[in-house]
Amino acid sequence: MITLMRPVADSLGDCELSYVGRTRIDVARARAQHAGYASALTALGCQLEWLAALPEHPDGVFVEDTAVVVPEVAVITRPGAASRRGEVDSTAAALARHLSVTRITEPATIEGGDVLRIGRRLFVGGSARSNAQGVAQLAEALAPFGYTVRAVAMRDCLHLKSAATFIAPDTVLANPDWVDPAEFGCARVIGVAREEPFGANTLTVGGVTLVSTEYPRTQRLLERAGVETRALDISELHKAEAALTCLSVVVGE
C-alpha cells in the first residue's frame, strides 16, 4: 500500500500545542525516530512516497491531518488550526496521482486526526479542530460511495484518534475517560492502561499493531487480547502532541 510521509522540519519546536506543555524538542532525535517509523512501515509492506519538505510549517510532518482517504476518493481537509492550512496543497497534489480528490471548503474545518474509519462508517470527533460544517461536508463527499459519517463527543484531548483507534477486524482501543467506546459499535473494547491515558493511538498495518514505547502497559493488554504488536519509539514526537497515526496517510487500504 502507498503511504505518504513528510520530513521533519527544523521548526518542529514551534508546533501547535493544546493539551501538552511546551518543552524543548531535539529535532535530530525526532528525525531519527521518524526514520525508524518509516522503516517499520516499509517492513510491513508500505510503499513510501515523500511529500515535499515544508520548513515554514512546524506541524507539516503530521500529514494525517491534511486528508481523509478511503479507497474511492481522497478528501482534502481544511485544518482547524489556521497555521496548518498551507500544508494541504502538496498532499492534494500527491493524492491526485492515485485517486480522485475533493476538498473541504470554508467555513468548514476538519482534521484527519479527528476521523476514525471503521469499515464504511466514519466517526468525527467534536474537537476544537473539526466543526459541524466539516462533518457535513465530509458526509456529503463520501455518501455517493456508501459511507456514513457522524460526529461523536470527546473531551480532554486534541483529536479523536488520541482517544480511540480501530484494530481490525472488531476491536477498538480507547480511553473511556475521553470518548465513550460504545459509540463505535465494535464487538470488543480494550481500555488503555489507566496510567497511560494517551496510549489509545495505535496504527495497524499488515496485521501488526504499532504501539508507542511510552505505553508498555497498554501494549501488554493488547498482547494478552491476542493482538500482534510492535513497539516504536516516537517519544520526541510526542512532545509535539503527535502519535503514530499522525505521521502518515495510507492510500489503498
Exposed/middle/buried for 158, CB within 10 Å: 0-12, 13-18, 19+?
buried
46 is an active site residue: no
List Cβ neighbours of 89 (8 Å cut-off, separation of 6 or more). none
Take residue 212 and report the three cell numbers written for it. Answer: 508507542
Exposed/middle/buried for 12, CB within 10 Å: 0-12, 13-18, 19+?
buried
Choosing from 34, 57, 159, 238, which is the catalytic residue? Answer: 159
57 is an active site residue: no
- Give the gyration radius of the chain's Cα atoms: 17
Choosing from 46, 157, 186, 246, which is the catalytic residue? Answer: 246
Q: What stretches of 27-114 adopt beta strand conformation (E)? A: 47-50, 67-69, 73-76, 100-103
Kindly state the DSSP code that residue 18 receives in the 8-state scheme.
S
Take residue 34 and report the three cell numbers written for it. Answer: 521518524
Active-site positions?
Answer: 159, 246
